[in-house]
A and B are shown apart, each in its own frame.
Chain A
C-alpha cells in the first residue's frame, strides 16, 4: 500500500535524470555537429549549472542569493587570466597586451600565480569559495535571513562589478579580457567550436547535478531543508544553523564558480557583464520559472528560457524581456514552485506504478 506521488519517488527522479542527460548526450547526433550550434549548446549547459546553484542555495537552502554572479564572475576572471597566461611567453612576451596599453611595465603580483595552469584552476575555484565562506559567515552568524541576505548579496555584487570595471590595468575594465588561444590542460586543447566543448559543458553539468542530488538525499540535505522550512525549529533541535547555511552558500558559490570557468573556456572572453546585477537576477528568474525546489526544474528552466530567447532572435529582444518579465510575475504570483510545481500537481493524479520501496526505517524501530 502506497499512495506517494510519483514525482517524489527517488527512483523515478533518477530515471528522469538518466533520460534527460541521455537525450542531451545524443543531441549532437540529431541536431548535427555544427561547431556554432555545439558552442551554443555548451553555453546552455553553463546556464544550467548556474540555475543548479540557485536551486541548491535558494530552493533547498532557503537563501535567496542575488549574488551568484560574484562566484561566476570571479572564477571567470581567474580562468581568463589562466588562459591569457597560457598564451603569454615568460621570456619574450610576459605581459598581456591590455596591460601594456594601460602602461604597466611589469606583470602585477596577483597575476603571477596564473603562469601555472593548475594553480590558476585551483585559484579560480578556490577564491570564490573562500569569499563565499567568509561572506556567508558574516551574514549567517548574525542570523540574517530573507530579504536582508538578498540585499547584502546584491550590494556585494555591485561592489565587485565596480572593481572589475575600474581596476583597468588588472581586468582590462569595460573591454574585458579575451584570451587569444583556446584553453589547454594536460596536453589537451579544448577547442570552443568542437564537440569537445559540448562534452566538457555537459559533463560538468551532469557531474554537478548528480553530486548535488546525492548531497540532497543525504542527512545533510535533509537538515538544510529543515532549516529552510523553519530555521528556529532546527536551531532548537540542536543544529548549528549558521554552519549549514555557510556550507550551502559556499557550495552554491563553488557550483557557480565552476560554471564561470567553463563559460570562459566556451566564449574565450570575460568582462564586467559577468558581474552585472541584471545577469545575477536573471539566473534567479530561470530557476524560479523552472522550479527552484527541483534541481531538474531549475536546469530545465535555464535551458528552456535561453533557447526561447535565442529562438525569438535579436530584433525582438525588447519585446522578449517584456514577455519574460510577465512570465516571471505570473510564476511568482501563481506558481511559487515554478513549472516543476505544476508538473508535481499534474502527476499526482497518475497512480504510482512503481512497487513500494523497501525502507529500513521501520526495521530499526521494530528491534
Chain B
C-alpha cells in the first residue's frame, strides 16, 4: 500500500460528486439524529435505544409491505405513529423513573435496545430483508455529469421537511411553548399548570416517531436487519452532542460532518475518513462541550 494508492489526487468532477454525496449523507445523519436531538435537547436523556427505534420503523415498513401490501409512501406515517406509541410506552414504563439519573437512562435504554434487537431477530430472523420502493424513487436522476439516485434526493427533501415541521412544532405551536418551558424550568412550568410529565411523554414519543419515519426511509436505501440501528446511532449521537442538542445545531453539525466525511473519504477512504472525523469531534468537544451554537456553559 503506497502513499499514492492511499491518497486520491484532486479532480474537479469527482470532487463535486463527493460534495453532493456529502449533502446526501448529511441529510441521512440529520434524519437519524432529529428525534434524538428533541429527546436529548428537551429531556437531557441519552437514548441508546434510538437506533432500535429506527430499526423498528424499518421493520414496520417491511411488515406492512410484505404481509399487507401497503405502498411504501403510506408506510412512512404509519411507522411514525406505531414507533411513537412504542416510544411513549418506553417513556412511561422506564425512562420516567430515571430523570434524576441521566447516566442510568443511557444504560437502561441500552437494555431496551438489546431486548428490541433480539426480539426482532427471534420473530423475523437475522437475515437481511429488502423493501420495494415506488418506481419514481428507484431510478437515478442525471444532472450534467452527476448521477444521483432519486431516493437520496427524496431523503434530502424529507430531512428539510421534517426539520421544518419540528421547528414549527417547537417554536410556533402551543405544545412547543410547553416543551420549551418545561425544558427551561420544570418547577416553574408546573406552577403555570403545565403537566411536565405529560409533556415529557409526548416529546419522547415524538422523538421516537421521528426515528420510526427515518427507519422507514432508510429501508428504501439499504437492506434492513435486526442490528442495523447500531450503524446509525453513533453518528446520530455525535451530531446531537456536537450540535448542543439544538435543532439548528444538529442541522449545521450534520451538514458539516457529512461534507467533511465525504471530502476526507474522497482523498483517502471511508474508514480513515470516519476515524479522522471522530477524532476531530472528540477534540472539538474538548473545547466547546456546550456544542456548536449554544452560548451557555451548561453541560447536560
Contacts and interface: CB of A to CB of B under 8 A. Distances in A.
Contact of A318 (B102, B121, B282): B121
Interface in A106-158: 135, 138-139, 141-148, 150-152, 154-156, 158
Looking at chain A's contact residues, the main secondary structure is: helix
A318 B122 CA distance: 6
B271 A147 contact: no
Nearest to A150: B106
B169 interface: no
A159 interface: yes
A163 B276 CA distance: 10
Q: Which among A139, A144, A322 has the highest number of chain B CB atoms within 10 Å?
A: A322
Contact of B107 (A143, A321, A328): A328
Interface stretch (A73-81, A329-337, A356-364): A329-337
B46 interface: yes
A139 B107 CA distance: 21
Interface string B96-124: 01100111101110111111011101100
Contacts of A288: 107
B272 interface: yes
Contacts of A285: 107, 110-111
B286 A329 contact: no
Given A155-B282, A159-B278, A147 B114 contact: no
A148 B289 contact: yes
Query: For chain B, which range describes its interface: under 10, 10 to 19, 20 to 34, or 35 or more residues?
Result: 35 or more
B271 to A, nearest CB: 3
Contacts of B97: 333
A139 to B, nearest CB: 7
Q: Which among B107, B117, B270, B299 has the highest number of chain A CB atoms within 10 Å?
A: B107
Interface of A: 64, 104, 135, 138-139, 141-148, 150-152, 154-156, 158-160, 162-163, 165-167, 169, 277-278, 281, 284-285, 288, 318-319, 321-322, 324-329, 332-333, 336
Given A328-B111, A328-B114, A329-B112, 19 more contacts: A64-B103, A143-B299, A144-B286, A144-B299, A145-B299, A147-B300, A151-B238, A160-B275, A162-B271, A163-B275, A166-B271, A285-B110, A321-B117, A322-B114, A322-B119, A322-B122, A332-B111, A333-B94, A333-B98
Interface of B: 1, 46, 94, 97-98, 101-104, 106-108, 110-115, 117-119, 121-122, 230, 234, 237-238, 241, 269-272, 274-275, 278-279, 281-283, 285-287, 289, 299-300
